[in-house]
Amino acid sequence: MTQQTQQTEDQLQPGDDLEQLIDSCLATRETRLEDWDALAFQADAKGEQFRRAQIRYVGSGATGNFDGDNRIIPARGFTFSNMRLPAGAVGPEHTHGDVEEAFFVLEGQIDVSVHDVADGNKTATRTLGYRDIIVVPAGVPRSLANNTDEDALFCVIIGTRKPQLPTYPETSEMYGVTR
């Protein structure tokens, strides 16, 4: 299917059922699940500090293939999910080589670090709180940490319909870990 064909299919056509259309574009908080298993392989491999939950809205993000989940709005040009990061938990250093990734905080606070591409031990860190956002460019290693006593809830937006699985640089706690 060409991009032109996909764009035509995604556009509203005369005679379309507007009620059906709007329902197919809606995901409510009540229908979302905190999926603690989406990234459980990391906690299973390296410890409970890596346990966190993904709450999918649009597409499945880069956590794996959840296309069979009929609650997810199909991704067309981006993915959107929430992530619950418990107090003291971390998201390990990883890289999305194909796409930028944005983090937007809804509750609590998170520390977002970017890592030097050549030397992952060199980092720059910023603390994000309520309604703060950071956009990390493609190819730049990043990690997350919740260094508070309260859970953090934040949006994760990835700028493509189907992102590649992230990679773990040699300096990452997850280096060599696979699903």
166 neighbors 95 (Cβ within 8 angstroms): yes
Q: Tens-of-pLDDT digits for all 179 residues of the chain?
A: 444 444 445 676 777 789 998 998 999 999 999 999 999 999 999 999 999 999 999 999 888 888 788 889 999 999 999 999 999 999 999 999 999 999 999 999 999 999 999 988 999 999 999 999 999 999 999 999 999 999 999 999 999 999 999 999 999 999 999 87
Spatial distance between the Cα atoms of 172 and 157, rounded to a whole number of angstroms:
22
pTM: 0.89
Each domain of the chain, given as residue ranges in start order, spans 33-158
78 neighbors 159 (Cβ within 8 angstroms): yes
157 neighbors 86 (Cβ within 8 angstroms): no
151 CB burial (10 A radius; 0-12, 13-18, 19+): middle
The angle formed by the CA atoms of residues 98, 116 and 41, to the nearest 5 degrees, is 60
Q: What is the largest CA-CA distance in the chain?
A: 57
Which CATH class for the 33-158 domain? mainly beta
